[in-house]
A and B are shown apart, each in its own frame.
Chain A
C-alpha cells in the first residue's frame, strides 16, 4: 500500500478476455483443484476402490456365463468396465462443483477480471487426475487377472487417453446439472438416472446379439457403445476405426453444447 494507486479514469482497459488468457486462467483453476485434492486425499477413495471392486465382481460373475471362462471374458469386460467406471467417476465432478460453488470463494472468482469459463473448466480439468487413476487401476487389475492386450502398451495408453478425454467431455453434462441443481445430492440423483441406463444399455458387458431387436437398435446408437468398441479395438487389435472418430466427435459435440450453457447458467446464479 506504499505506492499510489493508479486512478480508475486513467487506465486503459478492454472488455474481452483473450483465448490465451482463458487457457491460463483455466490452468490456474486446475492447479487450485489439484491443491484441494492434495489437501483431502480421502476424496480419491471412490476412484481407487471402484475399479478394483467392479472389475473383480463383474469378471467373476459374468465371465463363465458369457465367454465360457474368465480369461477369455477379460478382453470384452475390461474396456467395458473401464468406460463405465471412468464415466461414473465424472458424476463426482458435478457434485463437487455444486458443493464448491456454495462457498464464498466463487463470488470472488466472479468479481475477478478472468475468463468466465475458467472456474468451471479448471475444476473439470483437475478432475482428469481422478479419471487417470481409475483408468490405470482398471488396466492393472485386468493385467493381474490375466489380460494380455494384443494391441500393445502404446495402444492401451491411447485407449486410456481416449476414455479420459471423453469422460472430461461428459463431465460437462454433470457440471451443468451441478450448476442448475439446488443441492449436491440432487446432482447425484439426476446424474445416476441418466448414466445408469446409458452404461448398461450398451455393449459394455454383454454381446449385443443376445438382446431383443428393439434394444439392439438403441445399443447401437448409444455413444457409450461406440466408445467401448473403440477401446476394444485399440486394446485387443491395436486398430483405430470409425468408432474412435465417432467417440471424439461425440465428445466435441457434448462440449460444444454443454460448455456454453453451463457457463451461462453459472453466470446467472447469484
Chain B
C-alpha cells in the first residue's frame, strides 16, 4: 500500500455511477467483504482486481441488489441499493461469473423472454433479439439449444442479455475467466465498444493484464478489503512495469548479488533461495545496464536473466506483503509470463 498514492475520490465527469461506503457482508465467522469503499465515475471502465475468494463477487452482488449488505451503504447514480432497489435494477445490467441464461432454451428464446420482461412488445423483442445476436456473432446458433454452446458463446449471449435495456451501468463478473485467448480478445473489444456508447463498466478480474488492457481505474481487493486504488499507472508504478529475474551461478553470491541489485536499481528485491533466484521490480529500464556492469565488476556470474511482466502474485506481494494462493498465482502466471524474454 505504501507505494501507491491513495486518492479518495476518482476524477468525476457527470457524477458518480457507483458510490459505496463501508460495505460489509459476513457469512458466519467469515467476513467476505470487510468495509469496502468504491467511487466509480460515469463513463469509465473500473477494474476490481483480486484473487479467488477476495470478495469481488460478493461486492458486485451487493451493488446489483442481489445481496443485502450487513453494513454500509451503496448508491448507483445516487439511488440507494437497499431503499430503491427497483430503480437501481433499471439502471444496471449484470453478467455473472456463471452464465445467467436459460440452458434449456435457445439463444433467441432467451433474449426474447428477457426483452418481454423488460417491457418490450412481441415484435420489438424479436427485433431486439435478432439485432443483439447479429452484433455478438451468434446469428447462426440462434435456434440451437444452449446445451451445445461453447463457453465463449454462452458468455457473449449473457452479455447480450445484459444490454437489452441499454443500462448506463454494467457489472461484469470475471467476464473472461475460462475463455481462450482469441475469445478473450473479442470480449475485450466488446467491452471497449460498450464504454464508447456512454456506459460505465465495473468488471472484476483475477488477471492484472486484463485490468491493464481495459480499466481506467483499479481497486485491488484482498480479504474483503480494498488494499489499493488508483489509475493503472499508479498501480504499475508500485510494482514496476515489469520485473527482472536473475539467477546466480554460485549460491554463495546470493547475498552480494541482492545488495547490488537493491543499490543499483534502488528498489526492494525478493529472493527465492532454493532456486537461487532474485526478483526485482524494474522501474527504470536504463538502469539494468548499470546493474549488469556492476554485477560483472563485483565478479558475480549469472546463469540466467529474464524480464517478465509483473504477475498478480507480485502485485499482491508488494501491496499486502503476502502472495495469492497457489492455484490463482498459477493462473496469473500463465497469463503474464508470455512476454518473458530469456537471454
A residues contacting B by CB (< 8 A) are 1-9, 11, 13-17, 21, 24-25, 28-29, 31-32, 35-36, 39-40, 103-114, 118, 270
Asked if B10 is an interface residue, CB under 8 A from chain A, the answer is no
B78 & A9 in contact (Cβ 8 Å cutoff): yes
Tell me which residues across on chain A come within 8 A of B168, comparing CB atoms. Answer: 5-8, 11
Interface of B is mostly: loop
Tell me which residues across on chain B come within 8 A of A8, comparing CB atoms. Answer: 17, 42, 76-77, 91, 168-169, 200
A113 & B193 in contact (Cβ 8 Å cutoff): no
Contact A108 B90, CB 8 Å, known A8-B42, A9-B14, A39-B105: no
Nearest 6 CB-CB pairs, A to B? A8-B77, A8-B168, A104-B100, A113-B89, A108-B100, A113-B90
The closest CB in chain B to the CB of A25 belongs to B117
The closest CB in chain B to the CB of A37 belongs to B104
Tell me which residues across on chain B come within 8 A of A21, comparing CB atoms. Answer: 119
A270 & B114 in contact (Cβ 8 Å cutoff): no
Contact A36 B89, CB 8 Å, known A4-B197, A9-B15, A104-B99: no
B98 & A104 in contact (Cβ 8 Å cutoff): yes
Tell me which residues across on chain A come within 8 A of B92, comparing CB atoms. Answer: 111
Asked if B67 is an interface residue, CB under 8 A from chain A, the answer is yes
Tell me which residues across on chain B come within 8 A of A31, comparing CB atoms. Answer: 113, 116
Q: CB within 8 A of A14: which of B42, B76, B87, B117?
A: B87
Tell me which residues across on chain B come within 8 A of A11, comparing CB atoms. Answer: 77, 90-91, 168
A16 to B102, CA, bound (A): 26
- Nearest CB of B to A104, in Å: 4
Contact stretch, chosen from B58-66, B218-226, B252-260, B296-304? B58-66
- Nearest CB of B to A247, in Å: 33
CB proximity to A under 8 Å, residues B137-168: 145, 161, 163, 166-168
A6 to B198, CA, bound (A): 8
Asked if B194 is an interface residue, CB under 8 A from chain A, the answer is yes
Asked if B209 is an interface residue, CB under 8 A from chain A, the answer is no
Instruction: Indicate the member of A21, A25, A105, A109 with the most B CB atoms within 10 Å.
Output: A105
Tell me which residues across on chain B come within 8 A of A114, comparing CB atoms. Answer: 117-118
Q: List 30 A-B contacts (CB under 8 A).
A: A1-B135, A1-B197, A5-B166, A5-B167, A5-B168, A5-B199, A6-B198, A7-B42, A8-B17, A8-B42, A9-B78, A11-B168, A14-B87, A15-B84, A15-B85, A28-B113, A31-B116, A39-B104, A104-B96, A104-B99, A104-B101, A110-B66, A111-B64, A111-B92, A111-B93, A112-B89, A112-B117, A112-B118, A114-B117, A270-B66
